[in-house]
Structure 1
Amino acid sequence: MATIRYATAPPVEHSIEVDTICFYEHAAPAGRFAVCVACYPMSSIGFCRLGAALPHESVMQPGENSLTTFLVADPATLRTAAACHGALRGMLAALPELQSLRLTEDEWDAVVPADVVPAIVGAARRANGFSFCFHMGVHRRVIHDERGLLMACREWRLAASALGEKDCGICLDELERESAVQMTCCEHAFHRRCISEWISKATCPMCRRDVWRPAVPEILELSFAGAPAQGMPDIE
């Protein structure tokens, strides 16, 4: 079977989708400005086999939401697009529900609703006092392929194997001779080169248990930390 190499596409990808559910403003006493934000976060992780257009399986995790009010000490921070964007970014970064998504620096910039900024700037230039209120939805999506699933498997160590396995369950050759991994769902271990041909099934070749769902926490860590540039497994 030919080896397919994917030199540029990362094994774990993530994206941010931001939607403004509603935006409204209220007149406030002269010189008083405030921003009220209700954020509805959601995260999802999906397994998309190499070459497939849609995820094979996914898990959705809705987060907590609340209404938070930020008082604006300096109205000038709302009267230019750049300053308003920076002010909103700081406010959103203070929300616990968004902090739980563990966004990257680039994602914090992207999470500011683009349509809210000009609306606030325009109103802030017209009047002396306003309370700006908006509700937003934020969806952090993580998609990984077989390589991400393989990277989430634990490195096999003889002493750590409860079953004392010494042979690969696929080729039956000794595991100590080359790199081997242990399934996240069970104690079965295999050579990396052997399991890479099976991992798209997302089950253990020996016991047929689901490998994907037990590996979700490790895959999320790969997404947060970033997949390593070197040592990325190829799928045979």
Structure 2
Amino acid sequence: MVPSPLMNMSALAAAATECRIKGTWTMDRKLNPDKGHICFVRMQGDLIVRYRIHPVGQGNVPPLAPIVRQEAPRRFDRTFDLYDPDTFFRSYSACRDAIHQMLMQTPPLCEFDLGADSWDYFMPHEFAAINVDIFRRDTRSHGGVALRFDLDVTLTITAEIIYDEPRALLLACMHAGEAAAAVPPTTVRHVECCSVCMEDFAAREDTVRLPCSHAFHRDCISPWFHKAATCPMCRHDISRCLVALTNTPKGKFPGIGT
């Protein structure tokens, strides 16, 4: 297996990287008539990992970031015991939380952030809503008798690792500014306001000093970095700071080629 770029990524590059999760699934049910027996949930399928980059120069709302690498599908297969199947099938929240925990305990899925905010659409929510609805319909059609099932869930999970180069550039400048904080300022001492919004620096604490010594509010310089890797005042090339702190050429995903 080709090593993951995430293994050797610098802390700064990692801070500019997010993971987005997508999932599709199907479910087969097998009636489990033994009321004294636990039920089972089998989670099987494939994990697909893609790496994308949002490079400097594409604007604040770029098109879909291009794929720079896609790994071969990684197979997973794990079976979980349901010791309280009645609650699992009756309760939406119990079913949702249980399925979420199962995903987070299944290698290699557990290598990625599966928190609800990482999903384009939170799959455990969809699964629980459908599963509980089926259970209620089955119960009504069988005269109020609650049926229990073993479940075989087949999934395709896609993890997309997106490197936000403008954010990495901003973090690199902030890091460089902190490192130079002990050096007496020259040009910046005479500049009393941000050249973008014209507000006094003293009124806000989120000042970012670029390697060329020009300073801006973080919220003011961040949109500019989506357009160019230069200082908006003197056009000094800031990308050298990014390359030095991420060990990655501009326009490349950390750990993937040069």
Q: TM-score, normalised by structure 2?
A: 0.51
| CA positional deviation for 1:77 | 2.0
Equivalents in 2 of 1:81, 1:56: separation in Å?
A: 35
Q: 1:90 aligns with which of 85, 97, 101?
A: 101
- 1:28 shift after superposition: 3.3
Task: Tell me, yes or no, if the aligned pair for 1:25 and 1:132 is still in contact at 8 Å.
Answer: yes
The one-letter amino acid of 1:25's match is R
- By how many angstroms is 1:214 displaced? 6.0
Aligned with 1:96: secondary structure?
Answer: coil
* Partner SS for 1:92: helix
Q: Which runs of 5+ in 2 are unaligned?
A: 1-14, 139-146, 189-207, 216-224, 231-236
Residue by residue, what CA displacement relative to the aligned partner does 1:165-224 show, whole Å, maximum 9, x if unpaired? xxxxxxxxxxx857888xxxxxxxx53759x6852799659x9x822436479xxxxxxx
Q: CA deviation at 1:99?
A: 2.2
Q: Is the 8 A contact 1:37 1:133 kept in 2?
A: yes
Residue type of the alignment partner of 2:53? G
SS in 1 for 2:108: helix
Q: Tell which deviates more after alignment, 23-32 or 70-79.
A: 23-32
TM-superposed CA distance for 1:74, in Å, is: 0.4
> What is the deviation of 1:95?
1.8
Aligned length: 182
- 1:53 matched to 2:62: yes
Number of the residue aligned with 1:155: 176
CA distance in 1, matches of 2:81, 2:120: 21
Task: Check conservation: 2:22, 2:120, Cα contact below 8 A.
Answer: no
**Equivalent residue in structure 2 for 1:28, among 21, 25, 32:** 32
Match of 2:153 among 129, 133, 141: 133
Percent of aligned positions that are identical: 16
TM-score after normalising by structure 1: 0.55
Match of 1:65 among 55, 62, 75: 75
User: For residues 64 and 134 of structure 2, what CA distance do their matches in structure 1 show?
Assistant: 42
For residue 121 of structure 1, the aligned residue among 97, 111, 132 is: 132
The root-mean-square deviation of aligned C-alpha atoms, in Å, is 4.4
Q: Which amino acid aligns with 1:46?
A: I
Q: Which has the larger radius of gyration?
A: 2
Report if aligned partners of 1:124, 1:130 keep a CA contact under 8 Å in 2.
Answer: no
Q: By percentage of residues, which structure has more helix?
A: 2
